[in-house]
Amino acid sequence: MVLYSSLLSLSPDNNNEDFRGVRLPGNTRPSGYISPVRLPSRSFTSDLTGERTRVSGWGKTSDSSSTVSSTLNYVDLTVISNTECANTYGNIITLTKVCTETPNGQSTCNGDSGGPLTYLESDGRYTEVGIVSFGSSAGCQRGYPAAFTRVTSYLDWIESNTGIAL
């Protein structure tokens, strides 16, 4: 596992930089369980406010669930402004975060952390724009925003640790 360098000095109480990378020993082949997703290019400058995105994960499907899901689930959510998100979470919402609304109790939940937030590009391919970071401690189905680590904030780190030119 490759840690984002500023994580090394953080206390367990501070997970603002909720970002990790896993280096695989070789190439993977797409299958029914694995599919590639694009990383955003350096020219991807949209803050995505108002755009529909898709989050997927194996986490709990409700606040009352005692275990994570045995199937991969997804939900389409609309991105809200960081200002609107900060109205709920305060100064933990920085430019390195992207948030979505969570209507009708549809949100990320315990066990979804690290999962992808993707955006469907005009060419029909998905780009990973966020990584599930956190939601409200009041519960997954309360209607509070879901917060994600903004992938574009870490393109330099991704490039230097993978050798992939972005």
* Residue that is written with structure tokens 């990584």 in the block: 131
pLDDT at 82 over 50: yes
Domains observed in the chain: 47-162 (2.40.10.10)
The pLDDT value given to residue 11 = 37
B/e letters for 13-33, b = 16+ CB within 10 Å, e = fewer, are eeebbbbeeeeeeeeeeeeee
Supply the pLDDT for residue 91: 95
Q: What are the beta bridge partners of residue 79? A: 100
For residues 12-20, average pLDDT: 54
Higher pLDDT, 145 or 44: 145
The pTM of this model reads 0.86
